[in-house]
A and B are shown apart, each in its own frame.
Chain A
């Protein structure tokens, strides 16, 4: 992937991510997050992660975000109430986050040449990132973790139903 394409995509991703934070209305925030997820899926395809990109669109942008939108509409939330004076908090969050970013970027600059592995330029094995390759690894080397994930999902489902069905008062 060329630099121009990467920077266009990265700019769009950052723009929509900022939209998640800045939009007053939760539905618009959620739609901005969907856009971010789609654009990230495009990046995943360029990184030879076809199956993960498909999962990103189907599971993340499809299923998880629908749950979010459903709850937003269920609660029928209006816009965030006009803020009481909280400029100090906003300011400190911005300063802290920019310092965090600058520190991370500095670290990356220092560590960038030390990255292990063959690197981006080299060719990947045939079928890298395909369902077959990911699935083979998932169901052999990561089998125990996969089973534990199933337990986690079961716990999540039971917990969500118990919490949401509980009678008030």
Chain B
């Protein structure tokens, strides 16, 4: 039997890999993929805690996280398409109009 801590540790590692991706990659779509990775790390923690507590609530929350991820992906990708039409690029380093 694997203790809950191991699952949470795996979740932490996955989340950090997502952070590294968001910080180092410049392709906006890949940044989005890394955000999905971080959301899934959170999902793993929720499911592990649901099992630990013997309560179904954690799994219900995963359902909500998935809906938010779907809505975020739809709107975010629409924004990426709009940006690409304007600028012919989705390189995050080239989009510096709002950058300080």
Binding site for B on A (CB under 8 A): 1-3, 6, 10, 13-14, 17-18, 20-21, 26, 29-30, 33, 36-37, 40, 43-44, 47-49, 51-52, 55-56, 59-60, 63-64, 67-68, 71-72, 74-75, 77, 80-81, 83, 86, 89-90, 93-94, 96-98, 100-101, 104-105, 108-109, 112, 115-122, 124-125, 128-129, 133-134, 137-138, 141-142, 145, 149, 152-153, 155-157, 159-164, 166, 168
Q: Report whether A112 and B3 are in contact in the complex, using a CB–CB cutoff of 8 Å.
A: yes
In terms of DSSP, what is the predominant structure of the interface of chain B? helix
Q: Report whether B4 and A115 are in contact in the complex, using a CB–CB cutoff of 8 Å.
A: yes
| Interface residue? B82 (CB, 8 A) | yes
**A119 CA / B14 CA spacing, docked (Å):** 23
| Interface residue? B53 (CB, 8 A) | yes
Q: Report whether B51 and A47 are in contact in the complex, using a CB–CB cutoff of 8 Å.
A: yes
Q: Report whether A40 and B74 are in contact in the complex, using a CB–CB cutoff of 8 Å.
A: no
Binding site for A on B (CB under 8 A): 1-10, 12-14, 16-21, 23-27, 29-30, 32-34, 36-37, 40, 43-44, 47-57, 59-60, 62-64, 66-75, 77-82, 84-86, 90-91
- 29 contacting pairs across A/B (C-beta < 8 A): A13-B10, A20-B21, A21-B25, A29-B33, A43-B44, A47-B50, A48-B51, A49-B50, A60-B66, A60-B69, A64-B69, A64-B73, A72-B29, A93-B19, A94-B20, A98-B16, A105-B12, A117-B49, A117-B53, A117-B55, A119-B4, A120-B2, A121-B1, A133-B56, A134-B63, A160-B74, A163-B81, A166-B82, A168-B85
Q: Report whether A142 and B20 are in contact in the complex, using a CB–CB cutoff of 8 Å.
A: no
Please give, as numbers and ranges, the residues of chain A lying within 8 Å of B52 by CB-CB distance. 115-120
In terms of DSSP, what is the predominant structure of the interface of chain A? helix
